[in-house]
Amino acid sequence: MKFFVDTADTREIAELAETGLLDGVTTNPSLIHKSGRAFLDVVKEICAIVPGPVSAEVIALDHEGMMKEAEVLRKIADNVAIKVPLTLDGLRTCKTLTGDGTMVNVTLCFSANQALLAAKSGATFISPFVGRHDDVGFDGMKLIADIRQIYDNYAFDTEILVASVRHPVHVLEAAKIGADVVTAPHAVIKNLFNHPLTDKGIQGFLADWQKTGQMIS
């Protein structure tokens, strides 16, 4: 399973990139606002840090407007994936862009039928939002399992990019279902490294090692 980080903070991205575990980045207008930086500058900088797909979202709601914005965004770097909303105009734009060889991430997916439409439109990625789905009393992971089954039934190439991830259990469940990608906030990815028994084990080994009076050199 691929790991993307869901942030527009380039320091967070650079830190994770150094681990070699980072396969891509997703941004959205709210994350750009949080960064306090100019959208195009941030996307350019992220694309230089991470060679994998970097999602940059269009703001226009009509096909022509989305295409104009996509033209600007895809010129930034070859690894830009244009993020479009799951609407009729969004999927029309998706069809045009992927037909042209541009990666497209279809975002704000909340039903398996929407995911089916996105795959038929040639989406590179479909982004079902599990956390926001859970927030309103649905089972976000059931959505991922349904999409996995449908995509496997018809051998769609569209990658399931689990989004709106809130905690490590979302990551675990996504991996068990066989999602292709998880995009998670920096803090959630950092949490995946942690286990209290790992910390306790390190402390125990260090204490015993010091008693040996030896050094590794």
Q: Which residues bind ligand E4P (CB under 6 A)?
A: 6, 26, 28, 107, 127, 129, 131-132, 163-164, 183
Least gap, CB of 133 to ligand E4P (angstroms): 9
Shortest Å, Cβ 83 to ligand E4P: 7
Q: How far is the CB of 163 from ligand E4P (least distance, A)?
A: 3
Distance CA 52, CA 25 (A): 8
Q: Which is nearer to ligand E4P, 4 or 151 (CB)?
A: 4
Nearest to 143 by CA among 184, 185, 113, 165: 113
Q: Which one of 34, 44, 83, 120 is the catalytic residue?
A: 83
Closest CB to ligand E4P among residues 76, 86: 86
Give strand ranges (E) for the chain. Answer: 2-6, 24-26, 54-57, 80-85, 103-109, 125-128, 159-162, 181-184
Residues 142-178 as b/e (b if ≥16 CB within 10 A, e otherwise) read ebbbbbbebbeeeebebbbbbbbbbeeebbebbeebe
| Beta carbon of residue 39, minimum distance to ligand E4P (angstroms, whole number) | 14
Active site residue 83: yes
Handedness of CA 8, 12, 14, 20 (dihedral sign): negative
Q: Which is nearer to ligand E4P, 128 or 198 (CB)?
A: 128
**140-154 and 168-177 helices, crossing angle to 10°:** 20
Q: Which is nearer to ligand E4P, 76 or 84 (CB)?
A: 84
Strand (E) or helix (H) holding 45 = helix 39-49
Name the residues annotated as catalytic: 83
